[in-house]
Structure formats: C-alpha cells, structure tokens
Structure 1
Amino acid sequence: MKKLVIATRRSQLALWQSEYIKAELLKHYPNMQIELQEFTTKGDKILDVPLAKIGGKGLFTKELEVAMLEGTAHLAVHSLKDVPTQFEDGLTLAAVSKRFNPQDALLSNKYSSLEDLPKGAVVGTTSLRRRMAIKMLRPDIELKDLRGNINTRIAKLNAGEYDAIILAATGIEKLNLQNEVKYFAPISTDIMIPSMGQATLGIETTTDPKIIEIVKVLNDKNAEIESKIERGFVDTLQGGCQVPIGVKATILDEKNVKISAIVGLPDGSEYIKDEKIVDINSFENAGKEFANEFIQKGAKELLARAETMAFK
C-alpha cells in the first residue's frame, strides 16, 4: 500500500496525536505517503451542553468513522478514553499506543493543589468522574461546567472564570502548555482514578486485513493489557461518560496487574471503590470479572441513579 489517510479532528491535541502516529508509522514505512484528513465533529461543535446530555464521547468519533466506512480514510487516531467499547460493523480497534501520563491535573493561577483551594472555590470540569472525585475530597467546592478545547479552557481560567480547572495531564504535556498557568499539579491516581484508556491512543481502522497488518506495528503490549482490562470493566457495567466511572489497570511486574476502580454518584455522596491484583495471564477477562464483583455490590443500581442525576 503506497498511500494511507488518517482521519483526525481539527483540535490542536487531535492533530498532535495524529502527527505523532504518522511519524511512528513512517519509522516503519519510510516510503509510504501518509496524509491527514481533518474533520470537525459534532462533539467539537456543541460546546454549551455537557457530553452526558447529548450522547457521550462517541460524538468525537462518528464523522471519522463514516470517512473510514466510505473509503476516504483508512484509520483514525483517538484518545482511547473517547472511544466507545463497542464498534460499528466494519470497524475495529487495531492497535493502542504506548501510554503517556494517565493522571488528571489541577491548573490554577492561585492555588497549588486541591487541598490548597479555599472553601467555596470555583472549579471547572464537566466530567462526572472528576466531579465525583472532587466532591469526595472537597464537598465544599463549587463545580462549574467547562467545555471547549484545551486552549479555550485555559483561556477561561486565565480570564478569572474559575479558581482552578481539571484537565487530563497528558494533553497539557503533549502541547507543552504547563507554563500557561502558574500551577500545573498532576493529581495522584489514588485520589482521582482515571477514565478507561486515559493517556493511551487508540488506532481505529476498518476490518480490512491489509490496514490492520500495517498499523499493528504501533501496538504496545502493556497498553493493550491495561486498556483491555479497563474497557472490559466499563463495557460490563455498560457505562460511558453518562455515569461516573474511574478504572485504572497498572502492570506491576511480569506476573501481576493491579486494578483500581470506582463508581458512584456525581456528588460523591455514595460510591463503590475497590482494588485487586490479578494474574497478568488472565487479563482478557479480568476487567469483566472485576465489574461483576462491583455489580454484586450494587453498582448497576448506583449507576442508574447517577445517570438520573447527570441528566437533571
């Protein structure tokens, strides 16, 4: 194959990620022509409504998937946390990249950490998972919705609309935006368990064996193990961004993987949180099995209530 087309969103971060994957592919296929085809997705256009109310994170992938199914693009590069656990017929997750920093981070021009925020401080985030984690730690904090690309969100912080905002650390680090604010403070994943696949890039393709064969050189085995566990957990609970779910698999050594997870209500008033260590050889079903343990503890009922709260 002489030419490869990557479908990508137009945001600065999406373009960085697509260019990164293009460069990685060129290391293996130096003579291949690789182009980026840019799209503005529905998720990029609707900025005044939380994702949970308009259909979830799949809104950032739909246009790219249509391009692949129509044959005008061969693959799409996504932040894996934005990729639904089920794919349309004809599409597949062909590879996952080496994981970057999976932490969330606090950005502020006044305060150096969540603990340092004064009572009643205004914190910007629309993520139900982050809202839950913040309310569990600091129920006195006022939460305010925050949408837009990374630069827009930082601009709102710098304009004084928020005392602090919470973003994925990896996006700030990739775009080298740490110095745009006074304080950039990554938050421990023990305090704020990340989204499934956070800081991993997912390479979606059609089910064409030729395309899958080309992109499989990008696959990182450790990231594959961790993301499969995390995605299995969320898929079994049937939860997307409409409900607060955090799950992080961490390879400890060649034999063991630690899984940490939390589900609960957006206001942090009720939650189920647990962790366990599993044999790395059983990673294929580990996420599903862990989710079933949560279901036995009432996770389905809790998430049903969480969804009702999210749509108010």
Structure 2
Amino acid sequence: MTVKSRLLELLEQHKGETLSGEDIGRELSCTRAAVWKAVNSLRQEGYPIEAGPNKGYMLARESNLISAEGIRLFLEDPQVEIKIFDAISSTNLEARQLAVSGMAGHGSFVVAMEQTAGRGRRGREFYSPKGNGIYLSVILEPKGTLEGSLLITTAAATAVYKAVKEVCGVKLGIKWVNDLYKDNRKVCGILTEAVTDFESGNIEFAIVGIGLNLYVEQEQFPKELQEIAGGIYEDEQSSRTADRNRLAAQIVNYLLEETRELKLSEEYVEHNIVPGNEITITDNKSSRSARALAICPDGKLLVQETDGTQSKLAFGEISIKIPPIK
C-alpha cells in the first residue's frame, strides 16, 4: 500500500479531525515531506484536505468521494478485492474478467464513478452519468444451479433496499424482479449474470451489477427515460449528504448476507409494489394484460391471466410495466 493510500485511509478514519504532519508521519513511518507530497496528490484528485500553519491536515467532513480506502472502513470483510474507476465501459464486464482470470473472488467488487456503456436487462443501456450515482458489480460464488440466479437478483434488490434505508433514510419500493422505485420513478436497476458448469448446471460464479441513481436532473436523462427514471434525492445538495463510501459498503455487506442462503426474503415480498396490481406483460414484440397475485418462494411472479387461469413468470422471460402508484 502506498503512502498516499495509507494517508487517505487514515484521513477517512478521522474525517473532520485535524492530524498533525508529525503524527501522520509517525503513524505511516514516513517523512513529513512524503506526507506533504501525498496530501498534494490527493488534493489534485479532488479530496478537500484542509491545512494550516502548525495545525496539520484534515479531510473535510463533507468529503464524499468514493475510494477503496473509504469503503473498506465499513466492510464486514475489508480484505476483499476492490477496484475503483473514474470511468469505465461496464463494471459488470470488468468484474467478469477479474472472476474469469482468478484475480478476484467471492465478495470482491468493482465501482465506477461513470459507465460509458452500462448495461441493463435484455441488452438495454443503463444510463450512468458521472458523479450522479453508485455503479458497482459484485462477484459471488453461490451454491446452487442456474435456476437460483433469480433469487440472487431478489437478494440484491433486498440489499439495496436495506442499505438505502439505513444510510440515506429513504424507503424504496421494489418492482419485481430487479428494479427499485421512488415516487413512481425507477432509481435502481440490477443485472445478474451467471456462469455455470455445463455438465452439472451449478453456478461457478455470478456477477451482480447494481446501478443506483442518487440525483440526476430530469433533463440529463435521455429523452426516452425522462418520464421513467429518477433519483433517491430531490436535489443535488441533498444528495451530497449521502455517505457514498458507506452506502456502497452496506450494499455489498447486505448482498453477501442475503446470499449466504438463497431464499426469498420477507423484505422483498413486503416492500414489493407489483402484487395486487393490474400489469402489462411484454414478451418480445407481443404484450398482454394480467393481474399480479403474489411472489412465489422461488422468486417467480404468480399472475392471473385474463381468461382466469394462473401462471408463473420467471426472470428473463418478460418485462413488466405497472400503473403509477398513488
């Protein structure tokens, strides 16, 4: 670990507190000149580090830049591999490459400030503007077959719900199967991609991609998303109060907790906004109306068709649109 990385970790631990250059040098076993050089480098990266004669250095309490050092402070397993990118094409693609190469294992994850080619379900693009959200992909090595990938997705939605409620104080609605909503607008999308053993059908590893919008001006969204997408905060100033390092860490913590045993969580069912609604099911180019009845223990959606018969819908077969929640 470099002096700069160790310094950032120390400043994050004592955010809002002034540490003398002498104390920092002693803690990091380096000279005050090395400390000064590391401080300047961090400032160039945008970290608001205050300093004054005979006062030392302090990372401003309102500092909210995402860093591996800041995230590790809140992780239950701080030893996992963390990759941070200012911009990247897709965090899912990067995480997949790390998993395939063996460079990162269970619980490791990739975080980006911006995705230039973020992906959603069925090949759709996930709009990921710089600085407006948290875009991360987690590597999992769950025990189970490909059918269990649906429960991985429900676990991820539950993890995001819990983390946002805890860190931001905001309660979201979960939309079967992989989205979260606030005030009738989509604020989070989840994409689960699994690699399986051809002979056994068991999952070798899964990549769970999560895109969470904190605040995005409606005019920033592509025209086709302006009436659909939103953020969990009402304005940019409010979004700055969110501790992004803690939020990212808690999403990962809860995801690992929820996937220790693949099962449908009570929170996923309790906070789901789909059951009880008339819905439109879109499959390829055709669509039909139905009524959502309940979410089954395997994560599938039980619906009543217009002819009165019941059927189960599985992840990957359909997309669902529900009327605005009043």
**TM-score normalized by structure 1?**
0.32
Bigger RCO of structures 1 and 2 (CA < 8 A, at least 6 apart):
1
**TM-score normalized by structure 2?**
0.31
Larger radius of gyration: 2
